Amino acid sequence: MKKILLLLVIALPFILTSCKDDDNPTNTDNGGGANTSIMPTTKGSWWVNDDYIVDTNGVTSSSPVSSSTVTNGNNITKEGKSCIEQTTTTRDLETNEVESLTNYVAVEGNKVYIYGEEIVQGFSLFIGLLLGGEGGGSNIDFSNVKWLKVADKDASSWTMAEIPVELTGITIPGFELPVGDGTVDVKGKIAMTGVKKGTTTVTVKGKQHTAQQYDMQIKFTADISTAVPVFGKQKIASAEFSSGNSTWFSDGIGIVRTESIGSTTNVKLVPAFGGSSLVNEVDKSGSKSILLDYQIK
């Protein structure tokens, strides 16, 4: 599960796109004019990014591994919001393989939302493999996850989503449980939180711009229980996974930089069963994406 969540976090920079709450965009800024929109929304606007890989020690690749082009498309209405379809085309600089992905974002005043369906699909597909687990049943409620707010000029922090997770009768390869038959139940939640951070100065096309940082923090917390002879079902361990990504917006330009935050994973037995740590990992791997060129129509 740690790997799946991390991959989803890494993918988010290329999902962030632009929409507005009417069907007639009026942005005319060319990247330095009077337009103060947090995300320009005009059809045909495009952004080209250099994409870098960060290894497990937090070291960034010396050169980009791919180039991604983001292009604004048509205005549509989706799940109650007027938004713009946006296509991200990524080219691997070593193999020249090209992949394209279409996503949706809504801009409402000073707020930016991404459509969360792709993220939810990823969770739905891989949640049964939580912490490497196999088998059993699952009950994960994604019904309230539609649009996720990823930026808000007027707020310091906000809840993006809270997703209950309940898995029953799974096995977790590599876990040596002190009691039970090797199967466990996992009950917890995935909490996604948005946080407005500080500003920084970035250089794009030879000009300096002020960029506002927003973090998306993902935390999964859960209790792990198993059947204990005589005592029945008992909590034997707690689990916590955290990760996220940072995105920098510059008014009139849009997204100028993204970075994944890395991840930490901890699974610890409760004191009654020894209190020892089963998993304690810090993984600094991820990605960075830096704006190289853009045009606002």
Does the pTM of the predicted model rise above 0.85? Answer: no
Mean pLDDT by 10 residues, the chain (297 residues): 40 42 37 58 94 91 95 93 92 94 90 77 49 55 81 96 84 69 85 95 95 93 88 89 92 94 86 83 90 95
Instruction: Quote the pLDDT of residue 161.
Output: 87
- The CA distances from residue 226 to 165, 182, 184, in Å, are 16, 8, 5
Strand boundaries in 153-206, DSSP class E: 157-171, 183-204
- The DSSP H or E segment spanning 226 is strand 207-228
Q: What is the pLDDT of residues 151-189, one digit of tens each?
A: 999 999 999 988 888 888 877 666 667 777 778 888 998
Instruction: Calculate ∠ Cα 53-100-260, nearest 5°.
Output: 30
Report the amino acid identity of residue 80.
G
- The CA distances from residue 296 to 39, 47, 215, 221, in Å, are 10, 9, 25, 42
